Structure 1
Amino acid sequence: MNVFKSCLIIFFYTLTLSTCSETPYQYRQVLTVATNTPAPLIDVDSHLRFSKRPSDPYSYPIKVGEIGPTLPLFSGDLTYPFACSTWESGLGQPEVDNHELLGTPVFMEQNGQLTNKVIGFSKDCIIKTQIRFFIASSPEHSTEVFNLETLTLKADEILLRVEQGTINRYIYTLMMPIEQSEWTNRTAQSLWNKRLIYQFAGGVGIGFRQGKFAPQKLIERRFGQLKKGYAVISSSGNKTSHTYNMLQAEDTALRVKKQFISLYGDPLYTVGIGGSGGGLAQYLLAQNAPGLIDGALPLYSYPDMVSQTLYALDCDLFNNYYTFRSDLAYWDDQNKKRALEGLNSEQLEHKSWFFYPINQLLNAKPIYLPKIYSECVNGYFGLSALVNNPDQGFLRKTYSPHVKEITHWSYWQDLANVFGKDQHGYAHSIWDNQGVQYGLKALQEDVITAEEFIDLNFHIGGWKSANEMTKEQLLFIPFTKIGIWLTQWSNHNITQSSHTPAPRSRASLKAVENAYRYGQVFLGYNDIPTIDIHHYLEEQLDMHHVSTVFATRLRILEQTGTAKNHKIWIADAEFTPMDEAFQAMDDWLLKGKPNDTLVSDRCFDKEGEIIAQGDTVWNDSWNNQIQGPCAKHFKIYTNSRIQAGGPWQGSIFKCHTIPVQQAINKGHYGNHNMQDYLPQLTEIFPEGVCDYTQGDSAKPNSLTPRFAP
């Protein structure tokens, strides 16, 4: 675009702003989508873990006032749109990198205030490295300070030097406790205890944004350790509410750590910590990039994101079936829901009740308000629209209507570099339910009848292909921000049954293979000390259920033959064993072996007392052992794929299938004689039903676990 045209566009954009009542901050939309910027994608033959990373051409450290590397080392092209958040992090506006309406507008500043005049745009959201200072007296109270010369530090306060800039387009942060006299020396470190924490963070994200990184939140999380002399580093690219691309997360984390070491030298060790997505990130990065972290403290973790989507995206299929394709009152039963979904269910109120009468009337169904809700509703409400629907996008006005219209918004699209794309430009999905017999265990245990089993699997269907999906239908009440959901449970994007069974979803085999090879699946490699910590939240129907840690344990046992590096701590929701975990991890890393008194498998009551500890306390159905005392105290639930006959490991994306007749002959249906139902079952499963004993048909043979049965 020539200079005259660029100036003309900026002029008219500024004119629009000048007639708008909104401030520049409120009008900071991404207006157009840039063309992808080519960047190297690592070549993986077997698995990412065994692939050599390229050397980093960037010379560290990044100097104050300079810009860090933007192109990634090995995680593939920079994709767009990419929304900036530097000003939300207290770092000011991003640098102008184009004048062609690409990305986020950058405004002229006068006397410290923004004007409505646009001086350019930023598609990569880069900022210059800068130093900030914060004082904190408690986890809840920290403030930025600007005049260190006149500062009087109180006895209970700590002073923190905080360096921030951008690496791989994301905001990185280095945090170091210092003496007041050290504020003029960038590398002063007299209070550092030589231990380094890499903070990972969770949330559900689909990419397309830089994400904000306010130091106050990091101080709140790690105040106890900062006060003891730990240094803490992190990046907005290592927060899964911004992106779940673990290849990109590794590429970024390696460089952030390199920046830290270039300034302060090697730490005694680096321990990771983070909850939910920040927990699974530690498992995957420790597996994929040995040496990045030396110890892991995953909280509320899952083995990986893609395994979780298997049953999480089943949830709306179940709720759609109950609400629109069956008798909702009949399925409003705690035992039946647990038997089908595996997750816990309780009698409670949930905000989704508001949508039932409207949607029931729209679908010519009798009005019925359920009393029993499961974790599928309470924990995963709205997840399918965010993660799986490429036409939905963000509700906030971060992107212009044009950008919203042309972008494929989904978790899969954020990983298009790994999963590849179809002929329509949509990223391949690795979600599949071909051959899945929903409610198989419920049938075996006589919780449902053979007829109900047939009806469920006939009608439940799957998700439409990406190019067939449309956005959610929301009707907003005038003069309010209250939206009425007219497509409850995303029913318009779920396949329908008529005279034939509702079609199931089919994954891309190549995408599944790449998910394995490119380290998006946790295979069970566990070389480093790991203490997996959960609060027990099953009564709250929280999505952070405890069965996930046992899936992780089983994968580790299959891959390594031992759980010596993997410890499970589950505590009452009122107690958090964080100090105990850091003390145990420090001892383990410095001595090179675990102290069983400090780190054995265990469970805690609300007072912090250990209920039981030892190698057998968590034994239960997950490992086919007699129930241990911790498993007896904290009930372990399952999920829909386990209830469909799948393994506890939860990592089969594309099952091997066998003919229905063979499944009957092998006794898949327990005491039920399903021979009379052979025609219906064959119609529902023309390609056969899942035989989980054969593993994943799309998993490369070279990645078969060493100790798999």
Structure 2
Amino acid sequence: MVVDNSLTDSLFNSNRVLNAETVMMMKEHIVDTYGEISYTVGNGCSGGSIQQNTAASIFPGLLDGIQPSCDYPDSITTGLEVTDCVLLVNFYAGSDWATLMGALPQAQINAKKAAINGHLDHVGCQSWNNSFGFNNKPGNYVPTQVINQTTGVIAPVGAPRNNCRLPAALVYDPATNPTGTRCGDPDLATAVWGTTAGIAPGSTRARQTGDNVGIQYGLKALLGGAITPEEFVTLNEKIGGVDADSNRRAARSTADLPALDIAYRAGIVASGDHLGRLPIIDSRGFDEQGIHYIWRSFAERARIDAANGGNHGNQVMWRYGTGLLPATPAQITAVTLQSFLTMDTWLSNLTVSAPKETLNSVRSQAEVIEAKPATAFDLCYLTGDATFSTPVTDIAVCDADPRLAKHSSPRQVAGGPLAENILKCRLKPLNSAEYLPIVFSTGQWARLEAAFQGGVCDWSR
């Protein structure tokens, strides 16, 4: 039986707790109407992967196996990269960056952007800005988009709109309608986040988790020689953040602390422990100039590893470089169909080797791995293999294919972990020794101290 619901579609519902509750109620309805369920499998790309992962994280045992493609571990940590990219795109389009770049050729400028962003090239952050850069806008807005993919020039595009798709007069405006409906992503889940005072007098808003205090944008690019000390200092002086209404500002973004606890405790930040307790077959295609990056699958694996002593045996990854998804009958047979058949065997094995006491009981990672079928292993199809006829299991060979290699993100370039599951970092004092052999001038160091008055991220804790 194939089941769908508008509330399990990320296009219509980004409240991840409500998504998981919907899955639970759908299962209850199926049992009441049709009889017992043998097992429940999630399937979907992009937002569909988010809904699977977060349902498995929020209510472990609700899904027996998942088949994410175009994978993101969750939406809330994906939002870190979105906001970072919006800030970077706007910084690159400003006068401070233009002054730094001077008469450099555009190719060199774009190489610097790519080094700071962590992506294959400079286009990735532009794609995030144009696709989802306005999701947290609570009121009416005209999106500012990149209109030249080579130079990164930005401009307002289109008519005013809002994320609720409501008449403009009904929507929040800090001056004319402070109590109007707020349409930012957190505001769609106030029952989860709780509320606090808004920017406009008399207004309230959902608590938020966005934070970039202490983030050293471009740190690895600096240490690797891709950008200069002056570029690094100016970037971190000027990048700024966003306020609670998702407006860019000079100060860094600051999270509402109670929301951070909720995000982790509720499983909205996908838990490696919970994701380690069910079979996962991750189908990962190529979209490195879009928004679906290969490193996201490895981030999910890193979370599972961290929670399970380095063991990710319940997660299988199938990579291919021909496109975002299998497109031809041969590709669909090799990946989509084979994934379904492998998952069916895996879960059928589990119903015998580790039967669930109740419909939503949770299995252990050891039980899941013990039932793993012979066809469940990491593999790739090299980019030249358009028919997916030769699965490759030598992962070093897979990684050497440019369209199968993982890149990173602005926060990883800033020193953050591959798991990318830290919403707000702990801080440590600036220490000039940590930049050696890079040496800042006295003036540059004073500016860094002003930019990071509370310290910089300590990713070790």
TM-score after normalising by structure 2: 0.80
- Equivalent of 2:254 in 462, 482, 506: 506
- Equivalent of 2:380 in 573, 588, 603: 603
Change (3 A) 1:402 1:262: same
RMSD: 1.9
Q: For 1:334 and 1:416, locate their aligned partners in 2 and report how far apart those are by CA, in whole Å.
A: 40
In structure 2, the residue matched to 1:418 is: 192
Change (3 A) 1:249 1:505: same
- Equivalent of 2:237 in 441, 449, 458: 458
Are 1:243 and 2:6 matched, yes or no?
no
CA shift for structure 1 position 266 = 1.4
Change (3 A) 1:674 1:307: same
Are 1:549 and 2:297 matched, yes or no?
yes
The structure where strand makes up a greater share of residues is 1
Are 1:517 and 2:287 matched, yes or no?
no
CA shift for structure 1 position 584 = 0.9
In structure 2, the residue matched to 1:594 is: 372
In structure 1, the residue matched to 2:438 is: 672
Q: For 1:651 and 1:675, locate their aligned partners in 2 and report how far apart those are by CA, in whole Å.
A: 34
Are 1:234 and 2:4 matched, yes or no?
yes
TM-score after normalising by structure 1: 0.52
In structure 2, the residue matched to 1:283 is: 53
* Letter of the structure 2 residue corresponding to residue 419 of structure 1: W
2:206 aligned counterpart, secondary structure: coil
CA shift for structure 1 position 396 = 8.9
Structure ID, larger Rg:
1
In structure 1, the residue matched to 2:278 is: 528
* Letter of the structure 1 residue corresponding to residue 308 of structure 2: T
Give deviations 1:507-547, integer Å, cap 9, x for gaps.
Answer: 11111111111121112022111101111222xx1211111
CA shift for structure 1 position 246 = 1.2
1:381 aligned counterpart, secondary structure: helix
Would you say the 8 A contact 2:193–2:262 is kept in 1? Answer: yes
Would you say the 8 A contact 2:162–2:183 is kept in 1? Answer: no
1:337 aligned counterpart, secondary structure: helix
CA shift for structure 1 position 379 = 4.0
Change (3 A) 1:507 1:325: farther
* Letter of the structure 2 residue corresponding to residue 679 of structure 1: A
CA shift for structure 1 position 630 = 1.2
Are 1:564 and 2:313 matched, yes or no?
yes
CA shift for structure 1 position 611 = 4.2
Q: For 1:464 and 1:252, locate their aligned partners in 2 and report how far apart those are by CA, in whole Å.
A: 32
- Greater mean alpha carbon deviation, residues 398-407 or residues 313-322: 398-407
The structure where helix makes up a greater share of residues is 2
Q: Which ranges in structure 1 are unaligned for 5 or more consecutive residues?
A: 1-230, 346-372, 470-492, 496-501, 618-627, 695-709
Would you say the 8 A contact 2:193–2:206 is kept in 1? Answer: yes
Change (3 A) 1:396 1:647: closer
Would you say the 8 A contact 2:137–2:162 is kept in 1? Answer: no
Q: For 2:270 and 2:405, locate their aligned partners in 1 and report how far apart those are by CA, in whole Å.
A: 25
Q: For 2:456 and 2:209, locate their aligned partners in 1 and report how far apart those are by CA, in whole Å.
A: 18
Are 1:629 and 2:397 matched, yes or no?
yes
Would you say the 8 A contact 1:271–1:297 is kept in 2? Answer: yes
Identity of aligned residues (%): 30
- Equivalent of 1:432 in 187, 206, 211: 211
In structure 2, the residue matched to 1:339 is: 115
* Letter of the structure 2 residue corresponding to residue 246 of structure 1: R
How many residues are paired up? Answer: 386
In structure 2, the residue matched to 1:306 is: 76
Q: For 1:325 and 1:309, locate their aligned partners in 2 and report how far apart those are by CA, in whole Å.
A: 26
Q: Which ranges in structure 2 are unaligned for 5 or more consecutive residues?
A: 142-160, 173-179, 199-203, 351-370
Change (3 A) 1:664 1:611: farther
1:612 aligned counterpart, secondary structure: coil
Change (3 A) 1:651 1:398: closer
Would you say the 8 A contact 1:234–1:253 is kept in 2? Answer: no
Would you say the 8 A contact 2:82–2:128 is kept in 1? Answer: no
In structure 2, the residue matched to 1:686 is: 453
1:678 aligned counterpart, secondary structure: helix
In structure 2, the residue matched to 1:374 is: 123
Q: For 2:113 and 2:390, locate their aligned partners in 1 and report how far apart those are by CA, in whole Å.
A: 33
Change (3 A) 1:271 1:382: closer
2:210 aligned counterpart, secondary structure: coil
Would you say the 8 A contact 1:380–1:543 is kept in 2? Answer: no
Change (3 A) 1:420 1:397: closer
Give deviations 1:204-243, integer Å, cap 9, x for gaps.
Answer: xxxxxxxxxxxxxxxxxxxxxxxxxxx1112100011112
Q: For 1:303 and 1:381, locate their aligned partners in 2 and report how far apart those are by CA, in whole Å.
A: 21
Would you say the 8 A contact 1:463–1:505 is kept in 2? Answer: yes
Matches within 5 A, 1:111-260: 231-260=1-30
Give deviations 1:258-299, integer Å, cap 9, x for gaps.
Answer: 111112211322211111121122122122223322111011
Q: For 2:118 and 2:44, locate their aligned partners in 1 and report how far apart those are by CA, in whole Å.
A: 26
Q: For 2:105 and 2:222, locate their aligned partners in 1 and report how far apart those are by CA, in whole Å.
A: 15
